[in-house]
Every structure is written in C-alpha cells, then in structure tokens.
Structure 1
C-alpha cells in the first residue's frame, strides 16, 4: 500500500468568524493508494449555505471512495457529481433552491497531487517555507487581476471578491479550474486548503513568517488563527484552514488514465454509432417506402392517363417512375457495398428501370397507333379516303402487334372500328372514283354516263354513312338534267340550222347536222340520231346528184365540142361551172374553166381559120380527130374523177359514222381510204382542194387520239405501265394535229401524268 510508504499529516481549523453560523465545511480521507481533501464555503446570504457546503464535501469524498484514482477526469467527475447532488437538494427542498457553495478538491497518489476548485476557495503550496504556487478564483476581482486592472495584493480588499462567476449548485455545465499537470511532492512540503474568511485576512507573507517561527503544524495553525482573530476587520467571514504536511512520499507512478471513462466514451460512441446506423436504416427504410409509394402513385397515374388516351402524360409519369428508381440505386461500392448487397440492389433497380422503359416504348407505340387513327379520321372526314386507309392500316398494324394494356385501352373494340373504317374507305374510294368518272363524263358532255356514276356513288355514300355527300350527288344530277335540257335545245337549234342551210350551203348544213347528231348520241336519243343520219344521207345524195349532174354537163359539153357544136358546149360547161361553184368544188371549177377557155379558143379558131379550114381540110380532119380523141380521154378521165370523188366522200361519211360509234380503228381506215383517193387525184392534177386533205388529216389524228387513249386504258388496266405511257404520249402528240377540245386534252394529260407516276414507282412502293 502506498499509504504506508508515505506520511501525510493533516491539521485544520474551521470557525464562524463574526457570523452566527459556520457555513464552511472540510473533509478528507486517506485510502490505501489515494487520498482526497475537500473544503467548501457556502454562500452566507443564501439559506442552506451550510447544507450546500457539507453536501458538496461529502458527495466529493463519497464519489472518490467509489472511484478512486489520480487523474484530471476524476476531479472533473467529482465536481460534476457534487454539483448534481446540490442541485437535487435544491429541487427536493424549496427553501434550499438558491443555495450555492465554493469547492476545492485536492487528490494525491502519495507522490504527487492534483487539485481543482470552483468559486473563491483557495489552494496554497509551500516548499522550504515559501508559497510556490496558489490557485485562482472564479470571482470578478480575479478577472480584473487577469486583465491587469487590479494588483494581486489588492484582490482581498476588492468589493467584488465575493462576486462569483460560477459555483456548485449552478444549473448548466460548470467548468472547474483544474490543474493540468500533477505537482510532484517532496518531503517537508505543505499544501493548504482555505476559504475566503482566511485568505482575505492572512496574506502569503504572513503565512510564510508564521511557518518559519513554528516547526510543528499545530502550533503554526494556532498562530495563524490568532492572526485571523486579530484582524482589524469588523466583519470576519467564516474561515477554514487545512494544512497537510508531507514527511515522506511514496514511489512515483505515472498519472493514471481513467479507463472507465475511456470505456464509457467507447460505449457511448458505440451506442451513438448504433443509433446512427439504426436511424439511417430506419431513414433508408422510410425513404424507400416513400419512394415506392411515389412509384405506385406515378404508375397508377400513368395507367389512368393511358386509359384517358393522354399518352404524353402517361410517358411523363413513367419517366418519373424511372427517376424514383434511380434514387433507390445504392451508391456504395467496395467492402461497404458488399456488406450492403449494393450490386444486387442495383441490378434489381436496373431491371425495374428497364421494365419501365419497355412500358414507355409500348406507350409510344400506342400513341403512334391512336395518332394514326386521329389523322385517318381527319382524312376520312375530309374525303381523302386513300390517305385515310393508309393511316388506318398503320394503326391496325401497331395495335395488332401491341400486347400492352390491351383491355385498358379497349384494343379489340378499336380494331373492330378500324376494320369497319378500312372497309368503308375502300367502298368510299370506289364511290369517289365513280364521282370523278361522273365529273369527267359530265365535263365531256356524256350526261347519261355521268348520271349513272353519280347514282351509284350516291348509293355507296348513303350505305357508308356519308349522307352529306348524297345531297351533293343529287345536286349534280339535277345540274345534269338542266344541262341535258340545254343540250337538247342546242341540238334542236343545230338541226334547224341544218334544215335551213340544206339548200343554200351544203357543207354548213352538214356540219350543223353532225353537231346535232353528236349531241343526240350523247343524250342517248337514238331516234333523233337516226333522223339526223337520214337528213345527212339525203343531203349527201342531193350533193352527189348535183355533182353527177355537173359532171354529166361537162361530159355533154365535151361531146358537143367533138360534135363541132362549140356554142352548145360553152353553154353546158358554163352551167356545170356554176354548179361546181355552188358545191365549192374549186378543182372542178378550175378544170371546167380550162374547158371553157379551150372551147372559146376553139370558136375563135373556127372563125379565124374558116377559110384556111377548107384548104387544110385534110389536116383539120386529122387535128379534129386528135382533138376528139383528147376530149374522149378527158371525158373518161372526168368520169373516173367523179367516181373517185364520190367514193372518197362515201369513205369520209363512213369514217364519221365509225368515229361517232367510237370504232376509231375503222374510222381511221375509212378516213385514210378517202385521203388516199384525194391524194391520188391531187398527184394526177385532178384535185386541188388542199383544205379537204388537211381536214381529213385532222379527222385521222382525232380518231388516233381516242384510239391511243383507248389502248392506253387497256394497257393501264393490265398494269402494263410502260406501254400505257407510250400510248398516252402518242395520243398527246396527235392532239396538237387534231381539233380535239380542251376537256379531252386535259383528260388525256391527266391520265398520262397518273401513269407516269406509277411507271416511276419502285416495286416496294407498289407493295406499300
């Protein structure tokens, strides 16, 4: 035991001074290895000051006995324990609620000492008769000394020497003044514990003087007490003085560490760590739960938006789901990540994110499908059935391939509706084409065909719910009826014009009849068409009869010339010339003019050479014979010309009939036969009507135009696009050389452009 190695002697006195009650308290205990000394000074102005002083000292010694040791932490713990006990007493007893006390604690391991104080109790260390160190106070006066505003010697006289900054019994954390470095003791050292009643009346010099006078501790104490009593102060505070003399010290030991406190700190740190981990775990669980709740809400909202067909909002909600899953992906890696199973959790979140992305893709497909349906409906309502059908087909493909939320978006019902729309668009396209064909027929004047197409289109529109188009068809049919009336009246006027001109201008009359007949044929009036044909035939017959009469007169005139009757011949030829002029046959007029000139020359020749005729009778007879032969040949020639002209005219009339019947190939053949005859006559110098040839050429080109168009239609129907394009191009080239009207030209040009588009398409475009 270290106590036996050392010898520490403790002596003390404690008196009330001039006060009625002593509020100081001193106590100590020397254990086997450690010792403690404690002195307390209760505040005189507060009730329970003596209780506070005694409780503080007893609590300090009690704690030290339970936890003996030699370190700074022990002093700090003792101070805190004493403060706790005093505060408990304040709480228990109301009248002690204001009690406080100063406290000085000194501990030793019998080789060194440590001390700590709070308030205005004081510690002195004397060696070789001198004070070598002393403690500082927790007073306002001590602060002034620290700030060098007050001398140390004047501290005991300062009026604020009792104004404490802290004391035992304060609420809140106290900060005692603890010596940080142990004081190594030597033999004959003395350390003292005092209260204010002592140190304000005895200064350090007096302590040193009195100690030098007395070797024995008790005598020194008696001397010091007398000094206190002999003070000139009228008011002497409670005073306590304890002196510990060291006659021997134990072997030195290192200052102990407070392992209990260390372990307590470790325990507190461990508990705090566990609490932090638990808190973080609970926070993570709560965070995960909150995030999963958000995910559930976002997914529900995405499904609700999907059902409402708000695909954009649905995608946004699913993107928010991905954002929440990203928050759940742990960022820990390495050892921490291994223990937290971070990789597996990341993979799980990645899997959920991928599933959500797939949902977004499926939603985008649904968005595309329903967008195609909306666009298809717009095209459908605007009458663009071709584009509407394409959009419906694309939507159908998208929805048939989709497996996501089929029931929620009523996929089967939508597909059924799309199929009905596709079927309707097919029929409505047919109706649209019929309407377009009707428009074309109407433009070209084929009213019967137009009405038939309009009626069929109207029936299809009505059957497929487009009643708004039916009224349009009915309006067009009414317009056709009006046009038919107008056309019929026009045909009657043309027929009347032909009747009027039939005796004065055969060609104009024939053209009028042709116009009337064409209108009757378009209107489907076969009776009137046959009547016009009869009139044309009668007109042609009269013209041919007149032509034949003129030819006969020419022949007779030539005969009269050969009969040496030039005057009669001149009369006949003049009449024939007049008839040719009426027939507007300039070629025959020119020929007859030649004959007339020859006849006139012949008459002149006869009158001038009458005398010579007798002399040259033989020669004249020969010449006359030659002339007669020439005239005979001319007569034969004229008969042939007349027959050829009649034949060519008949071919032309037949060609016109074939054209009206749309037998274009036969029409071309007839026109070419007529043209060939006229060209032969022209080459022989017997026909000089170039306009007639040009007129026939235009008719040939006109028939070729419609023939090529007809052949192009056949090739197009057989999907021989190249051949069809060639035919339409040939038709277009011949238009320039014919008298085709603008409507026919526009129709053929439209067909050519359409077939050129198909010709230029690639195979996959046809497939699409």
Structure 2
C-alpha cells in the first residue's frame, strides 16, 4: 500500500516536474467571421490541446467551438490517454453536432493531442494537422482523412502533392458525419525534452510549407515567437483570399521522468498487492453487478419516461409531458449519458415553454404567451411529437387576444377623456374580435365596459337636452316679459317637447301652465256690453274700429270725419290701428298707433307722440254728469267720469 501511495504522489507532481509552454493565435483571414477554435487544459497529471476548423456556414451555431468545448469537458471530467475512451469522446461530439444540425449540417475538422507529460496520443477527424518537431527536424506529421491523402496512400499522387491537390478538402471523416464516423486515434508516442508540437488548421498549412516551418523553428526559441513568425510568413505571400487560420505551438522544454523499475521489484510488488487486490476484486465484482443492475433499471426507467413524454406531447397534454421528460432527464444524468441528457432537456424545455405560455395566456400576458409559443415551435421543428399546427393555433390565439386587449386599452383611454361615443365604437370592434377569437372572458368584460359607456353616453345626452330645454324655457320667459306672447308660446312648446323626450314630466307640466298663461294674454276674453247709455251714468259706450267709425249706444252719435260717444261713466275706446282724426280748421288729432281712450272716471288721454288737439271756435260739449268744452286753440278736456272726443269745426253732442 505504501508503494501505491508513492505512485499517487508522483502522478500529482507530473505537471510540477515538467515544463510545457503553449502559445496560439486564431484569425479570420480575409473573411468577416473566424469559425476556427482552439482551447487547451493542463491538469496535474495530464494535458489536452484541441484545434478545430468549422466547415459549415450556420450563423447561429459555431460547430468548432461546440466540439472543442465538449471534448475538453469530457476530458476534464475523466482525463485519459485510452484510445477507446478518446474515440468515445469523439463519437459523442459527432452525435451532438448531428443532433444540433437544424438549419444546415454542422461539420468540423479537428486535431486533438493528449499527454501525461511523458507520452502523447493524438486524434484526427478531417484535415487539421499535428506537426511533431525534434532537434530542429520534422519527426512526424498526422495523416489527413481526406480523398487527396487516400489517393497518396494508393500511390496515385505523391505525398508532396496532397497539400495542393483539389481534393484536399474532400474529407472522408469529419465531426458531424451523418453515417458511420471513424476518426483516427494514434498509439502512444514518447516525448523528449525540446520537442515542439504544432497544431494547425488547413488555413495555415496551405499557406506555409514544411521547409518554411523548419526555418521558423530554427529562429523561434519560444512558442510566442513561433506562432507570430508563422503568421508573418503566411501574410507575406499576399494572397487575395486567406482562409481562417489557427496555429498553436507547444514547447516541451522538460518532460516528466518516470523511474524505471526492475522486473523483480515489479513481480514482488504484484505479489504483495495481489491478495488485497483479489479481495477488492470480489467486492468490486459484487458492486459492479449491483451497479449494472441499477444501471439497467435506470436506463429502462429513462426510456419509459421518455416514451410517456412523447405520447403526452402528441396528445397535447404538455403539463404531463413536461413531468415525464424531467424524469427521463434525471435518469440520464444518473447514468451520465450526456447525449440523452441534452435530448431530454430540450424536450422538457419545449413542453415547459408551452405550459408557461398557457399560464401567461390565462393571466392576460398575451404578448409574453405568444413569445413562449413561438420559442416552443422553433425548438420543436424536428420533433414529430410536437404538432406544429397546434403550436401555430396557440400563437394565433395569443396574437388575437393581444389585439383585443390593445383595442380595450384604446377604448379605456377614450372613456377616461369622456369620449363615450368613440369608446363605444372601439368596444364594439373589440367585442366582435373577442367573439371571433373565442375569447369568452374578454368578451364578457368588454360587454360590461360597453354597457357602462352607453349608460354614460345616455346620461350625457340627457343632461345636454336638459340644458337646451332650460335655455328654451328662459327664452320663453324673456319673450313673455317683453309681451311677445306668440314667441313665448313657441319657446315654451319647444322646451316642453325636449322635457318630454328626456322624461322630466314635472317640467312638462310647468311648460303647459306657462303656455296657457301666455295664450290668455295673447287672446284675452272680451267683456260683455249693453245698448243703453245717457247722462244718468248708466252703462254704455262708443267704439271705433277699422279706419274710423263712430258708434253711439243709447241714441247719441257724432258726425263728420270722426266720432265720439259719451254715456254714463264710460268713455271712448279705440283698438287696432284706428284713431279719432279731425280734419279741417279744428279737431282732434292722434298720431302713431295710439287712440283716445277714456274709461272709468278719467277723461280723454292721448298716447304716443301726440295727444288730442282741437282747433276752431268751438269745442264739444257733453251733457250728463260731465262734458267736454273746447275754445280757441285749446284741447278737449273732459271732466267727471267720462268725456267725448270731437273733430271738425262743429262739435258733436250726445244727450241721453
């Protein structure tokens, strides 16, 4: 056991007791994008360098980077120089590129070198190369897996012609190959101090010949100087087109020295360790048998969950599909099956996106739901278990719901600004769109908003009509005050009609009363009259209408061009446009539309711009309780309770 521990110490100190220096460059050449990729890892006991050249034109996936990272991840997890294990790592990288080939077929050429700081193994897929220099000379170069190299192997062309042959890029093996993939993995090669390893892609070895590499090697004492000088040689040729190129130089200034053990010591060590190893082997066999059993059960569980997930996905039960794919992924992680882990993780994410989209659609986040459905459809392009038509249906439904939501928001803004008519119009459009899209909950909400908008619009219209009716009523009041009873009636009638339309019955009745009063003022009811009149003050009177006419009730009359009446306590009245007019030297004159009116105990009065004027030598006289007298140029005056008007030279006299 002490010897085993000592060996472990020596293994852990391999890197510390060796000196490997690495430098690289990777450029796009005359192209816009560099699709080459180089990376390396140096562990305590082993190191790995990988250079790859992407051979496809996919703008999203970078095949070279994907391959290098997967290889280094597997190597870091389980460092090895086993040809079988390295082949497994390459096969897994090939499967991964094939799986990710959605838009175009992803392809990559690579060279991989693994060392324990004492020996090395390299692997090739394509035409990326390894040059091994020792003592200033080329010790060896990797073999391309191309048609040109195959022709050279068959002696159809020379080995020197391979670098310029038109079939040098016609690769027989490459990472991402759809058929059987057979990369080349070398045997172990012992390293010596001062060895130089050069990993390059085709973009560099096509432009730099081996003699030029040897010249650079002779001058360059450090890896940095070597890659810089190789680049200078390549660019100095000033070719119109320079492909992506990568060069990585590894200087093994000191390799790890292993102690050589004699055969006797080795046999003794084997015998000493054999017994405990046999005991351990028994436990190991038992453990492995149990582990194999668990592994088989886990694999079976993984496949069963994956199959169930596919069935649920085909039935559009994505929530259950997500659960099954999650179980399948967990099982693949337990057995460390990275390819199936990636596969089931992708299926899980597709189902998860759909379930998330359904939840967002239910919560009203329609834009985010549409994004989730579109993401799921894009990821499921080559998975036959997810129906693209169903995903399209979900995308269209989310888009339709989002359109309805935007219309409702627009109508809500109009409601806030009290543009109820505009809001109603947009609510109706949104409701029709919701019905067409099968958006039941949205249609119900829109219906409520529409009813609210219509109610507010009716209330606003009623208020506007009420204000209009009040204005009409006020106009009627002004006309009534100005004794324009006909205009007042018209305004009151319009106000009444408007009040009637909006159902204000109390205001309707109020207008009815105002119309009746105005009508009474416009069309007054005439007082009843009798035919007897005289000096004894009994009821009687005279009236003049039309152009001019005198009428005397109770036997009195006045001639000439005017007329007068005197009886009892009543006097003269004139209505319309008639007036008493006296022509000649003397008489009564009335101007305008005014007439002489005497009633009750009052005498003659004249309104307008002039009163009664009498000229001549004599006036009118009336017998009874009072009479008119006129002399000279004086006006007629009536005393008592009534008086007559007279025109002309001679006055009229009426007696009882």
Q: TM-score with structure 2 length normalisation?
A: 0.38
Which structure would you say has the larger Rg?
1
Structure with the bigger percentage of helix? 1
Q: TM-score with structure 1 length normalisation?
A: 0.32
